[in-house]
Structure 1
Amino acid sequence: MELLADEYTSVYGYRKLTKMLRREHRLVINKKKVYRLCKAMNVLRSQRQVKVKHPKRLANNRLLTGSNQLWETDIKYGTPS
């Protein structure tokens, strides 16, 4: 496992490493076990950050000093029956 970790962990995560171990080395191993082994050997990569696709644009150019100064509606379109 250490030899595989040196070669592939810079490219693969634990899920792809599990599939590679199953296919190429014919091991019956679970992804959870591979995760625990990678964690014990300290070869896990950090998770990527989730990018916000649609940031909220609520009152960016307004100064709200009290209640009832900004109203927001949500419109839902439906087909008439």
Structure 2
Amino acid sequence: MSTRKALLQSALAGLVALGLAQDGAAQSKDEKEKCYGIAKAGQNDCGTAQHTCAGKSKKDNAPDEWKYVAKGTCAKLGGKTNPGK
């Protein structure tokens, strides 16, 4: 196989993989929701008024800390989809 053909095949495979990865990322975001009050210390998914980064929560199940969970499962896990409610 020529070098040119191998390079072309690699580039094509990379583009296909990139396209598939983007479809998967968009789909997973649509199927998840923020669930407040279930994150364990150091396992939150984003910042709050108290800190700016994921993984910075100081205590388990803080009401303003959240994690992404599968859509429709938050209440089953004991959390809330809105922090103030």
Q: TM-score by structure 1 length?
A: 0.25
- Structure with bigger strand share is 2
Higher relative contact order (CA 8 A, sep 6+): 2
